[in-house]
């Protein structure tokens, strides 16, 4: 029994039905040229994933229905080649009007269909909002002498039978397939690739069948999909892995229960290990920004350059993702800005090769102060005056964005966003946050990594080494209001992510957290940070989208009420 298959790991655009079909057809032609009998695409390849409430729009549903006909017509252009495609399909009867389906097409006809049984509604997923679960049955398609079992993403994640009353893997095992294909749209976060591989390798061993896992790649709003499609066998575990963070059409030969390359030769050994955390963050942010800007129609971005590490890292990443010629920096000094901050911005932009504009805000601040005093009879002072400076900066940056059509990138990190150490309608202005899912300690680590990869000082050492400051008041330091960032980040990781942390990180962080709780001062600090997180939910609700990097990011993956009473 020999079957040649191509896995098509592609970067689909949500809602671009004709573009997605064209992408599939190009990949199918490559698969056919490689001698494949089957080409496998990802979950909801027709619409891109996740389509969200587009699925509730009657016009979009009609377009999807018409596109299914176009998909069959495209399949007809590769005679004899079976396409395995994810798409939403109509259903009849009570419940939701759609199913999340897997379709097999050959010579322009749908020869097989399977509806996803397990519809996740946790973290960033909300599939039960749109789809009805498929029937509890095994999906088997025979291609020649090979019996192919079919699954869609979540269907393979309940083998321990803890989350759903149905286990599609066990049902499929009873049907004794030769090979199981699973179509996926699995968002990426730190540790997710390793989790997928361990899960499917265990399922393959338990049930005794090889599996081919095909994933989507690309950035879609806050979510980034890393690809990293792979093949596993019961004996050897993972034997093949496709590109990470890039498209690939790879052809494998399935023979005697195992995988070989397109020519039938043994597969090359996989390199040991994966990416270090900083390397992972680096690549995920670059892909997420590039796709977000492209899909939203932006060719250039603008960033407020404070001379601090957050804006420096944001500028460095933007220059790498989009090219330095497409990145604009603006420094906006006030009367309390240090000369070093402006000098550091100049050095940074020189290193990165990007343009730097200077827009002082002294006179604007003074005019607002005078106007406030005249209207309300007392001078601006304290926090109101500090935040005024941030809001003026945010307004100027949005002026630039509107005038010149550049996407404004916000520069807040997860530590500051968590405790509200940011100004609403000021430094929270923007269309996308690149580092908003990185704790401050990780911002420092990624900045060093960027320099190491470049082999030179892209981000000046002076920026990395100086004490963080918002510079909204004379001689201000972040530690005036916050504990040292290593301490703060330990507390935040437990309070925000908790059990979602990877095993190694969780062990380390919990040990540090326990030491804090062992002292009255530490216990009081934890309580204070918890209150700060609760009090600032309203700010996070109004913040721009943040690229998701960690298991629990602010945004759709963490839905907390604003007007609520939280017990101390």
For residues 351 and 372, give the distance between their C-alpha atoms in angstroms, rounded to a whole number: 41
Instruction: Supply 555's token pair.
Output: 């945004």
Ramachandran category for residue 228: left, alpha or beta (phi over 0 → left; psi -120 to 50 → alpha): left
Quick one: pLDDT at residue 253?
A: 97
146 with 155: CB under 8 angstroms?
no
DSSP letters, 380-423, are: --HHHHHHHHHHHHHHHHHHHHHHHTPEEEE---HHHHHHT-S-
Catalytic site includes residue 116: yes
pLDDT at residue number 271: 86
Q: What is the CA radius of gyration of the chain?
A: 26
Q: Give phi and psi for 91, each to the nearest 5.
A: -135, 165
- 83 contacts 105 by C-beta, under 8 angstroms: yes
Catalytic residue among 43, 99, 416, 471: 43
Give the whole-angstrom CA distance, residue 239 versus residue 257: 12
Which helix H or strand E contains 178, and what residues bound it? none
Residue listed under structure tokens 């990416």:
275
Q: Cα(45)–Cα(217) distance, rounded to whole angstroms?
A: 11
Residue 179: φ, ψ to 5°: -150, 140
Q: Which residues contact 31 (CB under 8 A, 6 or more apart)?
A: 6, 8, 39, 78, 81, 249, 251
Cβ atoms within 10 A of the Cβ of 43, count?
26
The catalytic position among 153, 349, 416, 442 is 153
Q: Which of 521, 383, 501 is nearest to 439 (CA)?
A: 501
**What was the pLDDT predicted at 567?**
72
pLDDT confidence of residue 337: 73
Q: Tell me what pLDDT residue 410 has.
A: 97
Q: Tell me what pLDDT residue 470 has.
A: 59
Distance CA 82, CA 63 (A): 23
C-alpha distances (whole Å) from 385 to each of 136, 235, 366, 371, 398 are: 62, 66, 10, 13, 20
pLDDT at 476: 61
Closest to 150 measured CA to CA, from 91, 241, 199, 83: 83
b/e burial code for range 227-253 (CB count within 10 A of at least 16 → b): bbbbbbbbeebbbbbbebbeebbbbbb
Residue 568 pLDDT: 62
Name the token pair of 158.
Answer: 């309940």
The token pair at 397 is 């940056």
Kindly name the residue from 57, 77, 109, 116 that is annotated as catalytic.
116
Q: List, for the chain, all residue ranges whose pLDDT scores fall below the cut of 50.
A: none
What pLDDT, on the 0 to 100 scale, is given for residue 473?
61
Neighbours of 359 (CB within 10 A): 16
CA dist., res. 34 & res. 505, Å (int): 43
What domains, with CATH codes, occur in the chain?
A: 2-261 (3.60.110.10), 279-482+536-541 (3.40.50.620)
Q: What is the pLDDT of residues 333-375, one digit of tens each?
A: 988 777 677 899 999 999 999 999 999 999 999 999 999 999 9
Separation of alpha carbons 310 and 296, rounded Å:
24
Cα separation of 56 and 484, whole Å? 47
């Amino acid at each position: 029994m020999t079957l040649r298959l191509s896995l098509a790991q592609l970067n689909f655009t949500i809602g671009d039905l004709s573009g997605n079909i064209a992408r599939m057809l190009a990949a199918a032609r490559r698969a056919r040229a490689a001698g494949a009998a089957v080409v496998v695409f990802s979950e909801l390849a027709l619409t891109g994933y996740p389509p969200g409430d587009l699925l509730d729009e009657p016009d979009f549903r009609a377009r999807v229905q018409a596109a299914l006909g176009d998909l069959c017509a495209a399949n007809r252009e590769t005679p004899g080649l079976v396409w395995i495609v994810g798409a939403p399909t109509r259903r009849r009867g009570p419940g939701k009007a759609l199913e999340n389906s897997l379709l097999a097409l050959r010579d322009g006809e749908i020869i097989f269909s399977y509806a996803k049984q397990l519809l996740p509604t946790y973290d960033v997923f909300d599939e039960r909002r749109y789809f009805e679960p498929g029937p509890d049955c095994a999906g088997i398609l025979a291609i020649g002498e090979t019996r192919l079992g079919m699954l869609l993403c979540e269907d393979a994640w309940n083998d321990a039978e803890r989350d759903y009353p149905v286990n599609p893997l066990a049902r499929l095992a009873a049907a004794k397939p030769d090979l199981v294909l699973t179509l996926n749209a699995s968002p990426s976060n730190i540790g997710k690739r390793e989790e997928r591989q361990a899960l499917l390798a265990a399922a393959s061993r338990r049930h005794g069948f090889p599996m081919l896992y095909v994933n989507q790649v690309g950035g879609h709003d806050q979510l980034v999909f890393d690809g990293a499609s792979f093949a596993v066998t019961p004996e050897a575990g993972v034997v093949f892995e496709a590109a990470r963070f890039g498209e690939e059409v790879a052809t494998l030969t399935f023979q005697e229960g195992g995988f070989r390359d397109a020519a039938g030769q043994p597969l090359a050994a996989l390199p040991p290990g994966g990416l270090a955390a900083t390397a992972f963050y680096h690549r995920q942010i670059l892909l997420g920004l590039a796709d977000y800007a492209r899909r939203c129609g932006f060719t250039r971005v603008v960033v407020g350059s404070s001379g601090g590490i957050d804006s420096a890292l944001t500028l460095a990443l933007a220059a790498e993702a989009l090219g330095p010629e497409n990145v604009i920096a603006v420094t906006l000094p006030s009367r309390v800005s240090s000369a070093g901050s402006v000098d550091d911005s100049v050095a940074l932009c020189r290193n990165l090769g990007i343009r730097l504009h200077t827009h002082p805000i002294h006179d604007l601040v003074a005019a607002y102060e005078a106007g406030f005093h005249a209207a309300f009879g007392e001078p601006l002072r304290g926090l109101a005056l500090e935040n005024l400076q941030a809001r003026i900066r945010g307004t100027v940056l949005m002026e630039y964005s509107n005038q010149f059509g550049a996407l404004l990138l916000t520069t807040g990190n997860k530590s500051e966003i968590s405790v509200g150490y940011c100004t609403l309608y000021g430094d929270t202005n923007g269309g996308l946050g690149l580092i908003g899912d990185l704790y401050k300690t990780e911002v420092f680590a990624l900045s060093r990594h960027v320099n190491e990869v470049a082999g030179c000082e892209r981000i000046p050492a002076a920026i990395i080494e100086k004490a963080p400051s918002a510079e909204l008041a004379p001689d201000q330091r972040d530690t005036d209001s916050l504990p040292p960032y290593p301490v703060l980040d330990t507390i935040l990781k437990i309070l925000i992510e908790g059990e979602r942390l990877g095993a190694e990180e969780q062990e380390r962080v919990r040990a540090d957290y326990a030491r804090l709780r062992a002292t009255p001062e530490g216990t009081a600090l934890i309580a204070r940070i918890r209150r700060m997180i609760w009090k600032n939910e309203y700010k996070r609700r109004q913040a721009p989208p943040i690229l998701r990097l960690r298991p629990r990011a602010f945004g759709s993956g963490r839905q907390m009420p604003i007007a609520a009473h939280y017990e101390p």
